[in-house]
Amino acid sequence: MSLSQPIRIGSRGSELALLQARSVAQALDARTELIIIETHGDRVTDRPLNEVGGAGLFIKEIESALTDDRIDVAVHSMKDVPSVVPEGLTLAATLARLDVRDALVSRAAPSIAALPRGANVATGSLRRRSQLLALRPDLEVEDLRGNVGTRLDKFDASSWDAIVLAAAGLLRLGLEERIRATIPIDEMIPAVGQGALALETRSDDREVLSAVGSLNHPETQRAVACERAFLGRLEGGCQVPIGAFAEVRQDKLRLLGYVGSVDGSRRLKREATGALDAPATLGLALAEEMLDHGAGEIIGEVARMTNVDD
Protein backbone atom coordinates (compact mmCIF):
# COMPACT_ATOMS: atom_id res chain seq x y z
CA MET A 1 0.00 0.00 0.00
CA SER A 2 1.37 3.44 -0.88
CA LEU A 3 0.94 6.15 1.74
CA SER A 4 2.12 9.73 1.54
CA GLN A 5 3.89 9.48 4.92
CA PRO A 6 5.43 6.58 6.86
CA ILE A 7 3.10 4.83 9.30
CA ARG A 8 4.26 5.82 12.78
CA ILE A 9 4.16 2.77 15.05
CA GLY A 10 4.06 3.37 18.81
CA SER A 11 5.44 0.80 21.25
CA ARG A 12 6.74 0.34 24.74
CA GLY A 13 10.51 0.08 24.94
CA SER A 14 10.99 -3.40 26.35
CA GLU A 15 12.78 -6.00 24.25
CA LEU A 16 9.57 -7.98 23.79
CA ALA A 17 7.47 -4.92 22.90
CA LEU A 18 10.02 -3.75 20.33
CA LEU A 19 10.25 -7.21 18.80
CA GLN A 20 6.46 -7.25 18.47
CA ALA A 21 6.36 -3.77 16.95
CA ARG A 22 9.11 -4.60 14.45
CA SER A 23 7.25 -7.74 13.38
CA VAL A 24 4.21 -5.57 12.63
CA ALA A 25 6.38 -3.10 10.70
CA GLN A 26 7.74 -5.94 8.56
CA ALA A 27 4.24 -7.29 7.91
CA LEU A 28 2.82 -3.95 6.74
CA ASP A 29 3.10 -3.22 3.05
CA ALA A 30 4.09 0.39 3.73
CA ARG A 31 6.92 2.58 5.01
CA THR A 32 7.05 2.69 8.80
CA GLU A 33 8.68 4.61 11.63
CA LEU A 34 9.02 3.19 15.16
CA ILE A 35 8.36 5.52 18.11
CA ILE A 36 9.09 4.34 21.66
CA ILE A 37 6.77 5.54 24.42
CA GLU A 38 7.36 4.98 28.14
CA THR A 39 4.25 4.11 30.13
CA HIS A 40 3.43 4.51 33.82
CA GLY A 41 3.68 0.74 34.26
CA ASP A 42 7.21 0.81 32.85
CA ARG A 43 8.31 3.62 35.18
CA VAL A 44 7.06 2.10 38.44
CA THR A 45 8.59 -1.35 38.89
CA ASP A 46 9.14 -1.53 42.65
CA ARG A 47 5.50 -2.18 43.62
CA PRO A 48 2.95 -4.90 42.80
CA LEU A 49 0.78 -4.18 39.76
CA ASN A 50 -2.39 -3.91 41.84
CA GLU A 51 -0.79 -1.07 43.86
CA VAL A 52 0.43 0.91 40.84
CA GLY A 53 -2.77 1.76 38.99
CA GLY A 54 -5.87 0.59 37.19
CA ALA A 55 -6.64 -0.85 33.80
CA GLY A 56 -4.53 0.49 30.96
CA LEU A 57 -1.41 0.76 33.09
CA PHE A 58 0.82 -0.14 30.14
CA ILE A 59 -1.03 1.61 27.32
CA LYS A 60 -2.56 4.94 28.42
CA GLU A 61 0.39 7.04 27.28
CA ILE A 62 0.48 5.20 23.95
CA GLU A 63 -3.24 5.81 23.43
CA SER A 64 -2.68 9.50 24.23
CA ALA A 65 -0.05 9.60 21.48
CA LEU A 66 -2.61 8.13 19.08
CA THR A 67 -5.27 10.65 20.08
CA ASP A 68 -2.78 13.54 19.74
CA ASP A 69 -1.71 12.34 16.25
CA ARG A 70 1.88 11.65 17.33
CA ILE A 71 1.63 8.03 16.16
CA ASP A 72 -0.67 6.19 13.75
CA VAL A 73 -0.68 2.63 15.11
CA ALA A 74 -0.19 1.29 18.62
CA VAL A 75 1.05 -2.26 19.11
CA HIS A 76 -0.17 -3.76 22.38
CA SER A 77 -0.12 -7.13 24.04
CA MET A 78 -3.86 -7.74 23.96
CA LYS A 79 -3.94 -8.75 27.62
CA ASP A 80 -2.89 -5.16 28.53
CA VAL A 81 -5.82 -3.57 26.66
CA PRO A 82 -8.82 -2.59 28.85
CA SER A 83 -12.23 -3.87 27.80
CA VAL A 84 -13.34 -0.34 26.83
CA VAL A 85 -11.40 1.45 24.08
CA PRO A 86 -11.34 5.29 24.28
CA GLU A 87 -13.65 7.25 21.99
CA GLY A 88 -12.03 8.00 18.66
CA LEU A 89 -9.81 4.92 18.77
CA THR A 90 -10.45 1.38 17.56
CA LEU A 91 -8.83 -2.05 17.64
CA ALA A 92 -8.17 -2.31 13.91
CA ALA A 93 -6.62 -5.78 13.94
CA THR A 94 -5.97 -8.76 16.18
CA LEU A 95 -2.93 -10.76 15.10
CA ALA A 96 -2.78 -14.56 15.09
CA ARG A 97 -2.33 -15.89 18.59
CA LEU A 98 0.70 -17.79 19.84
CA ASP A 99 0.53 -20.27 22.72
CA VAL A 100 -2.06 -18.89 25.16
CA ARG A 101 -0.85 -20.87 28.15
CA ASP A 102 1.19 -19.82 31.15
CA ALA A 103 4.65 -21.31 31.47
CA LEU A 104 6.40 -22.75 34.52
CA VAL A 105 10.06 -21.75 34.75
CA SER A 106 11.48 -23.88 37.55
CA ARG A 107 14.68 -25.26 39.01
CA ALA A 108 13.62 -28.86 38.53
CA ALA A 109 9.89 -29.46 38.98
CA PRO A 110 8.16 -30.44 35.70
CA SER A 111 4.73 -29.29 36.89
CA ILE A 112 2.96 -27.33 39.61
CA ALA A 113 2.01 -30.59 41.29
CA ALA A 114 5.68 -31.63 41.43
CA LEU A 115 6.88 -28.50 43.25
CA PRO A 116 8.16 -29.25 46.78
CA ARG A 117 5.77 -28.63 49.65
CA GLY A 118 5.93 -24.96 50.68
CA ALA A 119 7.83 -24.03 47.51
CA ASN A 120 8.40 -20.36 46.70
CA VAL A 121 6.83 -19.34 43.39
CA ALA A 122 6.96 -15.77 42.04
CA THR A 123 4.50 -13.98 39.75
CA GLY A 124 3.33 -10.44 39.10
CA SER A 125 -0.23 -11.54 38.34
CA LEU A 126 -3.09 -11.85 40.83
CA ARG A 127 -4.79 -14.20 38.36
CA ARG A 128 -1.81 -16.57 38.47
CA ARG A 129 -1.48 -16.19 42.25
CA SER A 130 -5.14 -17.12 42.75
CA GLN A 131 -4.96 -20.21 40.56
CA LEU A 132 -1.61 -21.33 41.96
CA LEU A 133 -2.99 -21.20 45.50
CA ALA A 134 -6.23 -22.87 44.41
CA LEU A 135 -4.14 -25.78 43.14
CA ARG A 136 -1.51 -25.71 45.92
CA PRO A 137 -2.53 -23.77 49.07
CA ASP A 138 0.84 -24.68 50.62
CA LEU A 139 2.85 -22.59 48.15
CA GLU A 140 4.55 -19.35 49.17
CA VAL A 141 3.75 -16.92 46.34
CA GLU A 142 6.08 -13.93 45.92
CA ASP A 143 5.57 -10.77 43.87
CA LEU A 144 7.58 -10.37 40.66
CA ARG A 145 7.72 -7.26 38.42
CA GLY A 146 9.72 -6.27 35.36
CA ASN A 147 10.01 -7.27 31.73
CA VAL A 148 10.66 -10.89 30.74
CA GLY A 149 14.44 -10.61 30.87
CA THR A 150 14.35 -8.87 34.25
CA ARG A 151 12.04 -11.54 35.68
CA LEU A 152 14.31 -14.33 34.47
CA ASP A 153 17.37 -12.56 35.92
CA LYS A 154 15.59 -12.13 39.27
CA PHE A 155 14.69 -15.81 39.27
CA ASP A 156 18.25 -16.88 38.46
CA ALA A 157 19.60 -14.73 41.31
CA SER A 158 16.96 -15.88 43.81
CA SER A 159 16.22 -18.90 45.96
CA TRP A 160 12.73 -19.24 44.45
CA ASP A 161 11.70 -22.67 43.24
CA ALA A 162 9.83 -21.33 40.19
CA ILE A 163 8.25 -18.38 38.45
CA VAL A 164 5.25 -18.26 36.11
CA LEU A 165 5.30 -16.25 32.86
CA ALA A 166 3.25 -16.16 29.67
CA ALA A 167 4.52 -18.80 27.26
CA ALA A 168 3.97 -16.49 24.27
CA GLY A 169 6.47 -13.90 25.50
CA LEU A 170 9.17 -16.51 26.01
CA LEU A 171 8.48 -17.99 22.58
CA ARG A 172 8.61 -14.61 20.84
CA LEU A 173 11.98 -13.89 22.48
CA GLY A 174 13.39 -17.28 21.47
CA LEU A 175 13.61 -18.36 25.13
CA GLU A 176 11.59 -21.56 24.85
CA GLU A 177 14.43 -23.48 26.53
CA ARG A 178 13.54 -21.68 29.79
CA ILE A 179 10.08 -23.26 29.80
CA ARG A 180 10.10 -26.26 32.11
CA ALA A 181 6.44 -26.92 31.33
CA THR A 182 3.42 -25.20 29.85
CA ILE A 183 0.58 -25.23 32.37
CA PRO A 184 -2.59 -26.91 31.10
CA ILE A 185 -5.49 -24.50 30.61
CA ASP A 186 -7.72 -26.58 32.89
CA GLU A 187 -5.19 -25.85 35.69
CA MET A 188 -4.59 -22.18 34.93
CA ILE A 189 -6.97 -20.24 32.68
CA PRO A 190 -5.01 -17.51 30.86
CA ALA A 191 -5.50 -13.76 30.96
CA VAL A 192 -8.01 -12.27 28.53
CA GLY A 193 -6.25 -11.87 25.18
CA GLN A 194 -3.08 -13.64 26.30
CA GLY A 195 -0.82 -14.61 23.40
CA ALA A 196 -2.43 -12.15 20.95
CA LEU A 197 -1.31 -8.74 19.71
CA ALA A 198 -3.68 -5.79 19.23
CA LEU A 199 -3.19 -3.03 16.68
CA GLU A 200 -4.99 0.15 17.72
CA THR A 201 -5.57 3.13 15.42
CA ARG A 202 -7.68 6.26 15.16
CA SER A 203 -11.22 5.40 14.04
CA ASP A 204 -11.24 8.00 11.26
CA ASP A 205 -7.82 7.22 9.73
CA ARG A 206 -9.05 5.27 6.71
CA GLU A 207 -5.68 4.74 5.03
CA VAL A 208 -4.06 3.32 8.15
CA LEU A 209 -7.17 1.30 9.01
CA SER A 210 -7.00 -0.32 5.59
CA ALA A 211 -3.28 -1.10 5.87
CA VAL A 212 -3.54 -2.47 9.39
CA GLY A 213 -6.81 -4.33 8.82
CA SER A 214 -5.12 -6.61 6.31
CA LEU A 215 -3.17 -8.18 9.20
CA ASN A 216 -6.28 -9.19 11.15
CA HIS A 217 -6.66 -12.90 12.01
CA PRO A 218 -10.43 -13.57 12.10
CA GLU A 219 -10.35 -16.67 14.32
CA THR A 220 -8.19 -14.97 16.94
CA GLN A 221 -10.28 -11.80 16.67
CA ARG A 222 -13.49 -13.73 17.42
CA ALA A 223 -11.96 -15.57 20.37
CA VAL A 224 -10.50 -12.40 21.89
CA ALA A 225 -13.74 -10.45 21.35
CA CYS A 226 -15.55 -13.15 23.32
CA GLU A 227 -13.03 -12.98 26.17
CA ARG A 228 -13.10 -9.18 26.25
CA ALA A 229 -16.91 -9.11 26.44
CA PHE A 230 -16.67 -11.48 29.42
CA LEU A 231 -14.09 -9.23 31.11
CA GLY A 232 -16.04 -6.06 30.34
CA ARG A 233 -19.22 -7.35 31.96
CA LEU A 234 -17.30 -8.37 35.08
CA GLU A 235 -15.54 -4.99 35.10
CA GLY A 236 -12.23 -6.53 36.06
CA GLY A 237 -8.65 -5.69 35.15
CA CYS A 238 -5.19 -6.79 36.22
CA GLN A 239 -6.18 -5.98 39.84
CA VAL A 240 -8.76 -8.80 39.94
CA PRO A 241 -8.04 -12.51 39.41
CA ILE A 242 -10.06 -13.05 36.22
CA GLY A 243 -9.15 -15.40 33.40
CA ALA A 244 -10.85 -16.36 30.15
CA PHE A 245 -10.02 -18.47 27.14
CA ALA A 246 -12.12 -18.85 24.00
CA GLU A 247 -11.40 -21.15 21.08
CA VAL A 248 -13.13 -22.38 17.95
CA ARG A 249 -14.33 -25.96 18.24
CA GLN A 250 -16.44 -27.67 15.58
CA ASP A 251 -17.76 -24.40 14.14
CA LYS A 252 -18.67 -23.05 17.57
CA LEU A 253 -16.94 -20.89 20.16
CA ARG A 254 -16.09 -22.47 23.50
CA LEU A 255 -15.36 -20.13 26.41
CA LEU A 256 -13.81 -20.95 29.77
CA GLY A 257 -14.03 -18.35 32.53
CA TYR A 258 -12.40 -17.96 35.95
CA VAL A 259 -12.96 -15.58 38.85
CA GLY A 260 -11.18 -16.13 42.16
CA SER A 261 -10.06 -14.55 45.38
CA VAL A 262 -6.40 -13.57 45.70
CA ASP A 263 -5.67 -16.56 47.95
CA GLY A 264 -7.63 -18.96 45.74
CA SER A 265 -9.94 -20.01 48.57
CA ARG A 266 -13.02 -18.74 46.69
CA ARG A 267 -13.23 -19.39 42.99
CA LEU A 268 -15.64 -19.95 40.14
CA LYS A 269 -14.82 -21.76 36.92
CA ARG A 270 -17.43 -22.14 34.21
CA GLU A 271 -17.68 -23.16 30.54
CA ALA A 272 -20.11 -22.21 27.76
CA THR A 273 -20.43 -22.57 24.00
CA GLY A 274 -22.01 -20.26 21.45
CA ALA A 275 -22.23 -19.20 17.82
CA LEU A 276 -19.08 -18.18 15.95
CA ASP A 277 -20.73 -15.03 14.66
CA ALA A 278 -21.79 -13.80 18.12
CA PRO A 279 -18.63 -13.84 20.27
CA ALA A 280 -19.67 -10.94 22.49
CA THR A 281 -23.02 -12.56 23.20
CA LEU A 282 -21.27 -15.68 24.49
CA GLY A 283 -18.87 -13.66 26.64
CA LEU A 284 -21.69 -11.66 28.20
CA ALA A 285 -23.79 -14.79 28.81
CA LEU A 286 -21.02 -16.60 30.68
CA ALA A 287 -20.27 -13.48 32.72
CA GLU A 288 -23.94 -13.23 33.70
CA GLU A 289 -23.99 -16.88 34.71
CA MET A 290 -20.94 -16.38 36.91
CA LEU A 291 -22.40 -13.23 38.44
CA ASP A 292 -25.50 -15.26 39.29
CA HIS A 293 -23.25 -17.71 41.15
CA GLY A 294 -21.36 -15.15 43.25
CA ALA A 295 -18.64 -13.71 40.99
CA GLY A 296 -19.64 -10.17 41.95
CA GLU A 297 -19.07 -10.90 45.63
CA ILE A 298 -15.61 -12.29 44.93
CA ILE A 299 -14.68 -9.32 42.71
CA GLY A 300 -15.95 -6.86 45.32
CA GLU A 301 -13.95 -8.57 48.04
CA VAL A 302 -10.76 -8.47 45.97
CA ALA A 303 -11.34 -4.81 45.08
CA ARG A 304 -11.65 -3.89 48.75
CA MET A 305 -8.49 -5.82 49.61
CA THR A 306 -6.46 -4.22 46.83
CA ASN A 307 -7.94 -0.72 47.25
CA VAL A 308 -9.28 -0.46 43.71
CA ASP A 309 -12.78 0.17 42.46
CA ASP A 310 -14.59 -2.95 41.30
| Cα 287 to Cα 11: distance, rounded to the nearest angstrom | 32
The closest of 78, 80, 136, 76 to 104, measured between CA atoms, is 136
The correct CATH number of 102-182 out of 2.130.10.10, 2.40.50.140, 3.40.190.10, 3.30.530.20 is 3.40.190.10
Q: What percent of the chain has pLDDT over 90?
A: 82
H or E stretch at 207:
helix 206-213
Domain boundaries, given as residue ranges, for the chain: 7-95+196-216, 102-182, 227-306
Average pLDDT rounded to a whole number, residues 72-97: 94
Cβ atoms of 160 and 120 within 8 Å: the answer is: yes
- Render pLDDT for 101-134 as a digit per residue (tens, 0 to 9): 999 999 999 999 999 999 999 999 999 999 999 9
Q: Which fold has domain 227-306?
A: Double Stranded RNA Binding Domain (3.30.160)
Name the class of domain 7-95+196-216. alpha beta
**C-alpha–C-alpha distance, residues 89 and 62, integer Å:** 12
Residues 43-84 pLDDT 10s: 555 455 555 445 566 788 999 999 999 999 999 999 989 888
pLDDT in tens, 19-41: 999 999 999 988 999 999 987 66
pLDDT at 308: 45
Q: Which of the four pLDDT bands, split at 50, 70 and 90, describes residue 302?
A: confident
- The per-residue pLDDT for 1 is 44
The strand pairing partners of 269, in sequence order, are 258
Give how far Cα 63 sits from Cα of 13, 133, 202, 236, Å.
15, 35, 9, 20
Whether residue 260 has pLDDT greater than 90: yes
pLDDT grade, residue 262 (50/70/90)? very high
Reply yes or no on whether the pLDDT at 234 is more than 90. yes
CB 212 within 8 A of CB 95: no
Identical fold for domains 7-95+196-216 and 102-182, yes or no, is: yes
Pairing state between β 162-166 and 32-36:
unpaired
| Nearest-angstrom CA–CA distance, 270 and 282 | 12
Average of pLDDT values for 231-256?
89
State the alpha helices, DSSP H only, in 58-144: 60-67, 126-135
2-12 pLDDT tens trace: 567 899 999 99
Residues with catalytic roles: 80
Q: How confident is the model at residue 310 (pLDDT cuts 50, 70, 90)?
A: very low
